[in-house]
Amino acid sequence: MSHGEIWIAIAGMGVVTVVTRALFLMAGEHVTVPDRLQRALRYAPAAALAAIILPDLMTWQGHFTVALSNYKLVAGVAATLFYLLTRKMVGMIAVGMAIYTGLRLFGA
């Protein structure tokens, strides 16, 4: 691939990114989103977060693993349980990282 083709690809990706993200701003009030779709979009951040985090938690050393030997999964489950009981986000992060670090340092 030549330098020119690379720059054309980068420029094309930039245009596509700007147009897709700015489309709602450019349309303004001319386009209305139905209430049902607006309610559904409230769940988009949680769904995106789950799509990013869960695959990482479910793999250990490059393999899909659902076992106690998967330290990331164990720490993630413990952190989730802590959050469900206390509703403290910073505490959840601290518990998850403490358990993961402890398992990595002292685990079998």
- pLDDT at residue 108 in the model: 61
Instruction: Record the pTM.
Output: 0.63
58-81 confidence digits (pLDDT tens) = 998 888 989 999 999 999 999 999
Q: What percent of the chain has pLDDT over 70?
A: 99
Residue in 14, 28, 108 with CA at minimum distance from that of residue 69: 108
| Rounded CA separation 71/13 (Å) | 38
